[in-house]
Amino acid sequence: MLRNSGVESGRIEYNGVSKEDEPDMILQNIVSYVGQLDNHAPFLTVQETFDFAANCRIGAKAIAAASKDEGDEKTLSENLTVDGLDLAVCRDTYVGDANNRGVSGGQRRRVTVGEGMVGTYAVAVCKCC
Residue 5 lies in a domain: no
pLDDT tens by residue, 37-78? 888 999 999 999 988 888 887 776 655 555 555 555 545 555
Flag whether 57 is in a domain: yes
* Sign of the four-CA dihedral 95, 101, 106, 109: positive
Question: 68 Cβ partners below 8 Å, 6+ apart?
Answer: none
Asked if residue 47 belongs to a domain, the reply is yes
Q: What pLDDT is stored for residue 68 in this prediction?
A: 57
- pTM for the full predicted model: 0.68
Of 31, 12, 32, residue with least CA distance to 22: 12
Whether 119 is covered by a domain: the verdict is yes
Total structural domains within the chain = 1
DSSP state of 90: G
Name the packing angle between helices 60-69 and 73-84 (round to 10°): 100
Residue 29 pLDDT level (bands cut at 50, 70, 90): confident
Q: Compute the mean pLDDT over every residue in the chain, rounded to the nearest whole number.
A: 78
- Average of pLDDT values for 2-26? 74
SS3 content of the chain, % helix, strand, coil (to 5): 40, 10, 50
Residue 54 lies in domain: 39-126
